[in-house]
Amino acid sequence: MSLGTWIYTLINGAIVGKDEFGNKYYRGKGRKLNGRERRRVVYKGNVEASKVPPEWHAWLHFTVDEPLTVQAAQARAWQQAHQPNQTGSPNAYRPEGHLLRGGNRAAATGDYEAWTPE
């Protein structure tokens, strides 16, 4: 985020809340866009949209009128904690046989028959 955008958000926005990652969410004080208030997120650290948890994503995209922070605090037993997208990072998923995991995969089980042209 540029310095100008950050200052504009601080002056023209009212803070709504903060998530567990340190991102802050703002509601615009003034002009509306297409009849809707402006909603913004100021990321802590790198600007990465996948760092926005689902409850705040719903608020940013006008799915709900108020943030779902109370409902999110009462997560179900089967729900996992939100994680940002790990693609391209050292924590990215790499299956067996991936070049960065040695490049060796298990041999075929014998049910595969290769096609050869006639």
In contact, 93 and 86? CB cutoff 8 Å: yes
CA 102 from chain centre, in angstroms, equals 30
Give 72-92 pLDDT, tens digit per residue.
667 778 878 777 888 888 888
Helix/strand/coil percent split, the chain, to 5: 25, 15, 60
What does the buried/exposed string (b/e) look like for 19-45 if buried means 16 or more CB atoms within 10 Å of the residue's CB? bebebbbbebeeeeeeeeeebbbbeee
pLDDT number for residue 29 = 82
What whole-number distance in Å separates Cα of residue 10 and Cα of residue 33?
A: 18
- 27-72 pLDDT, tens digit per residue, is 888 777 777 888 888 888 888 888 888 888 889 998 888 877 766 6
pTM over 0.85: no
pLDDT at 1: 61
